[in-house]
Each structure stands twice: as structure tokens, then as C-alpha cells.
Amino acid sequence: MKLICCIDNHGGMMFNHRRQSQDREVRRDILTYVGSGVLWMNAYSFKQFCSEHSDTQYYQIHVAENFISKAGPDDYCFVENAIYLINELDLSEIVLYHWNRDYPSDVSFDLNLCNWHIIHSKDFCGFSHEKITRKVFKKNEI
């Protein structure tokens, strides 16, 4: 499975049961990055995608509360509030969107990236953030 998450400078993802931030340019970039692949998420995350897109623009999004267990090996999972369900052994790729800001958080990205390496990094201007960085990680070969 391929994991997609948004984090702040300290790895924070959520605060007080809410996402720290959202940005429509990040959503657009996620859909472009996934392309014709399958993108899994829960209903909480889907709310931000369906708020501005027509049905034809999110055809690749599949929504289920147990989405992580339904995802296939080549599928993407956008995770905001269920990072604790991720088993690193199931991952082949990690895509992190960095807000490049400091936010308060009580849920953090806690996967250890020491066995991963960056294969691609891209900075772009978001709608609400002047700089967003997308980093793509692959597992180190053993």
C-alpha cells in the first residue's frame, strides 16, 4: 500500500480531533499524483474532497471506515486520523505533504523513516499556504 499524509514541521497531523489544516491545492496534487490509481480514505477525509469536486473528478476515491484493510498493494491510502492503524510492513511508498508551518498537535506521524529514502521532492504554492512540500519515500533495499 502507498500512504499519503499531511504533516507540519514537527510531524503533527491533528489537534483536538480535527485536521490541522487543509488546502485545495494539496487535494488537487494528491488526485493528480494518484492519477488513475485507487485512493482510499474514510468519510472524515472524503468530506474535504467532495466539497469542491464533481462526481467525475473523484472517481478513483473509495470511502470506507476500514479503508486500510481494504486497500490493495498498489492502492493509495490518504490518512489523517487513523495513522495508528498503519503497519509499516504493508507500505511500499510514503507520500508526505509538509505544511512547512508549526501547528499545535495531539496526533503525529509516528512512523520511523530511517529505513526509507526520498526519491522525489517538490515544492509548490498552496491556496492557504505559500509553500507546501511533497516528499515521496521508498523503502531502502536490504
Q: What is the largest CA-CA distance in the chain?
A: 44
Cell of 104: 499545535
What b-and-e string marks burial along 13-26, b requiring 16 or more CB atoms within 10 Å of the CB? bbeeeebbbbbeeb
- φ, ψ of residue 2 to 5 degrees: the values are -115, 120
Q: Tens place of pLDDT for every residue, the chain, 142 residues?
A: 999 999 999 999 999 989 988 899 999 999 999 999 999 999 999 999 886 655 545 668 999 999 999 999 999 999 999 888 899 999 999 999 999 999 999 999 999 999 999 999 999 998 988 899 999 999 987 6
Write down the pLDDT at residue 54. 52
| Three-state DSSP state, 69 | helix
Write down the pLDDT at residue 56. 46
What pTM was estimated for this model as a whole? 0.93
**Is the separation of the CB atoms in 6 and 99 below 8 Å?**
yes
Angstrom CA distances, 101 to 58, 129, 131, 133, stand at: 28, 9, 9, 11
Tell the residue number behind the cell numbers 485507487, with chain if given. 38
Write down the pLDDT at residue 139. 93
DSSP single-letter state for residue 124: E
Write down the pLDDT at residue 85. 85
Write down the pLDDT at residue 84. 83
